[in-house]
Amino acid sequence: MLGLRICEETPYAAVYDAGGTMLRLTKVDDLVPQPFTIAGWRVLDIESTIEDVASRGVNVVRYEGMDQDERGIWSTPAGDRVAWFTDLDGNTLSVTSFAE
């Protein structure tokens, strides 16, 4: 769903190509999703990124009390922009576009 190309899969881990960066994820028997963001990526264009992942079926998470725009993007007081979503196991992931 995120467009990561799988490079290798073993009984212990999966290795992906994340836009030229290797991303190795270890398999676990008993997953306990955490109540916080466990992984995040810096993106240059958060709007395009959210459009792209939404077209693949990824849903942006909306948090009560957060002033997120119609796409689910929140702007920090410093001007950074963040959006959150969950993976298939319920882990929270994020993308951030930093203010310049």
User: Tens digit of pLDDT for each residue in 35-72?
Assistant: 899 889 999 999 999 999 999 999 999 999 999 999 99
Domain extent listing, the chain: 1-30, 31-100
Taking a C-beta distance cutoff of 8 angstroms, is the pair 24, 13 a contact? yes
User: Tens digit of pLDDT for each residue in 69-98?
Assistant: 999 999 999 999 999 999 888 899 999 999
| CA–CA gap between residue 9 and residue 93 (Å, rounded) | 22
**What class, spelled out in words, does domain 31-100 have in CATH?**
alpha beta
Question: For 54, phi and psi rounded to 5 degrees?
Answer: -65, -35
Question: For 33, phi and psi rounded to 5 degrees?
Answer: -60, 140
Strands laid side by side in the 13-18 sheet: 5-9, 13-18, 21-26
Q: What is the pTM of this model?
A: 0.77
